[in-house]
Amino acid sequence: MDQPQGQGQLQPVLVVIPTYNERENLEPIVRRLHAVLPDAHVLVVDDGSPDGTGDLADELSAADSRVHVLHRTEKAGLGAAYIAGFGWALERDYAVIVEMDADGSHAPEDLPRLLAALPDADLVLGSRYVPGGKVVNWPWHREFLSKGGNLYARLALGAKPKDITGGFRAFRREVLEKLKLHTVASQGYCFQIDLAWRTIEAGFTVVEVPITFAERERGESKMSGNIVREAYIRVTKWGLRRRGSQLKSLFVRKG
């Protein structure tokens, strides 16, 4: 694995923001982002939002060369939107690719902290569950589900991150180039577990920095029972595969 590189090589930055019916939220989040990171570029990946989010994104792009838009014809899920955005980024010269939600739950003001950690890491996770991280205005059942999902993923996979399901993170391009993104089929927050776990298995350095996660003020959450079930089933399969590989290695050593 390549060693983390110096700060001077961590530009330019692209923030990938997937959208579906986020017209009310998109412009404020882009404005806040550029207030703290004026040089960052934004890629809005819109899944054919019927509320006109894609049209608004086009207007923002026409007025600002730092804003780009990737239109998709249907709602195909968070994972597919990010994979499309990553592919777009890797066709260009971005050194850092960031994941961030459009709904305001990820504070752009926390992003400089993520980027500041990249000189010593390959993937930086914005974490709600490390010292200094917190959740604001979240229903108790959502927080219970989130903490439970993270605990289960850590136990099943033997992974160290305390917030492996979070969707606010910064990748070095070298990570995404090596992860075989065309093989990723996960959706929802399972996609976040999948990408982080692949990064860890590939031997890259993963660190967490604290963030403040706030419940969206406008629009509807995309969380559903299907998303939770997908994560449980896939993480269980990955965990069993990991245990099987460990047992196989043990028998080989003893043999």
Q: What is the CATH number of the domain that holds 120?
A: 3.90.550.10
Going by C-beta distance under 8 Å and a sequence separation of 6 or more, which residues neighbour residue 229? Answer: none
At 138 the pLDDT is 86
The answer to the question of residue 4 being in a domain is: no
Q: What total of structural domains would you count in the chain?
A: 1
Cβ atoms 127, 212 nearer than 8 A:
no
The answer to the question of residue 131 being in a domain is: yes
CA atoms within 13 A on the CB side of 41: 19
The answer to the question of residue 163 being in a domain is: yes
pLDDT band at 226 (very low <50, low <70, confident <90, very high): confident
Lowest mean per-residue pLDDT among 58-62, 149-153, 241-245: 241-245
Burial class (CB in 10 A: 0-12, 13-18, 19+), 3: exposed
Domain limits for position 153: 9-254
The answer to the question of residue 3 being in a domain is: no
The answer to the question of residue 217 being in a domain is: yes
**Which two three-digit tokens encode residue 169?**
């993170």
pLDDT band at 173 (very low <50, low <70, confident <90, very high): very high
Lowest mean per-residue pLDDT among 62-71, 120-129, 156-165, 198-207: 156-165
The answer to the question of residue 144 being in a domain is: yes
At 63 the pLDDT is 98
Q: What is the pTM of this model?
A: 0.87
